[in-house]
Structure 1
Amino acid sequence: MKTILYSIILLTLTLFTGTKVNAQQVQDSKHNYVVLTKKVPQLQPILITAEKLKEEDGSNFGKFEIIICGKNIGDITDPAKMEKFITKAENLGVKLVACGFSMNKFKVDKKDVPGKMEIVENGILYNFQLQKKGYISLSL
């Protein structure tokens, strides 16, 4: 009798544990990416990479974010430099993010940042926070 009871408990635990693992595998099937860059011209190859990963990943492609920080942060305020990148990022569903810490340090006014870009307080911290959420990260 005890053997049957133990078998039922073991079977029940096995079934519920297996369900939890399957749910995690479904949830983790999206591939999310974040790239931290210091130079606006690097947006071109980064966006090409996002496009290729989107093709490769298919339905598993999740989010793709590009964080711009460093001493050249002022370049994001130049429409001639940014317009084509903003358009391409928007078409790909890529989020462009400006580092507020860099903007403050190098005296870039928030009102000069293109409206399509998000500003975060600290780009490096934001990058680590995304990594903790499982994002694949690259810094250039």
Structure 2
Amino acid sequence: MKTYIFSSLLVMIMLFNTTNTKAQDLDRNKNNYVVLTKKVPQLQPIILTAQALKAEEGDKFGDFQVIICGPLIGEITDTEKMGNFIEQAQKFKVQLLACGFSLDKFKVDRTKIPREIRIVENGILHNFQLQNKGYKSVSL
């Protein structure tokens, strides 16, 4: 048990340091967004929202990240279901992220996750870190 707690703390510290470095590189004069979702089908309206914001904001549009978590996270391994979402996300510069805690809790094989989806070990922590950097956030 002590090993598990120590390992978890170590992973969170490493994640925190990595996220801070990346977030500090972002232009604070841009509008940045993060969405936490529990359902893969919600990716379609989320990506359409990113597209509309990009068209509306032009050069003010910054980073747009979507964190997928929860009991249905295993759906991200379905290449048929995810293919179109991944293609649209890349087209509109939307980053798709998977919550590592959810992957572990619901026993999702990480090797089956498409390479275009980045894993963050703690999706909720990542969301809060981005909010601390000025990201606008919504959870669905």
* Interval of TM-score (by shorter of Structure 1 and Structure 2): 0.7 to 0.9
Which residue pairs with 1:64 in the alignment? 64
1:33 aligned counterpart, secondary structure: strand
2:71 aligned counterpart, secondary structure: coil
Which residue pairs with 2:77 in the alignment? 77
Give the C-alpha shift of residue 139 in structure 1. 0.2
Which structure is richer in relative contact order (CA contacts within 8 A, separation 6 or more)?
Answer: 2
Give the C-alpha shift of residue 80 in structure 1. 1.0
User: What is the TM-score normalised by the length of structure 2?
Assistant: 0.80
Runs of 4+ in structure 1 over 6 Å off? none
% identical aligned pairs? 61
Q: For residues 10-89 of structure 1, what are the structure 2 equivalents within 5 Å?
A: 28-89=28-89
Which residue pairs with 2:93 in the alignment? 93
For the residues of structure 1 that align with 2:125 and 2:137, how far apart are their CA atoms? 13
Which residue pairs with 1:102 in the alignment? 102
For the residues of structure 2 that align with 1:29 and 1:116, how far apart are their CA atoms? 27
2:130 aligned counterpart, secondary structure: helix
Which residue pairs with 2:112 in the alignment? 112
1:33 alignment partner AA:
Y
Give the C-alpha shift of residue 109 in structure 1. 1.0
1:100 alignment partner AA:
G
2:81 alignment partner AA:
K
2:115 alignment partner AA:
G
**Number of paired residues?**
114
2:108 alignment partner AA:
V
For the residues of structure 2 that align with 1:41 and 1:49, how far apart are their CA atoms? 14
Provide Cα deviations, 1:9-31, integer angstroms capped at 9, x if missing partner: xxxxxxxxxxxxxxxxxx53200
For the residues of structure 2 that align with 1:59 and 1:80, how far apart are their CA atoms? 33
Which residue pairs with 2:135 in the alignment? 135
User: Unaligned stretches of 5+ in structure 1?
Assistant: 1-26
Q: Please say which structure displays the higher CA radius of gyration.
A: 1
Provide Cα deviations, 1:89-122, integer angstroms capped at 9, x if missing partner: 0011110000000000000011010000100001
For the residues of structure 2 that align with 1:94 and 1:60, how far apart are their CA atoms? 15
1:60 alignment partner AA:
K
User: What is the TM-score normalised by the length of structure 1?
Assistant: 0.80
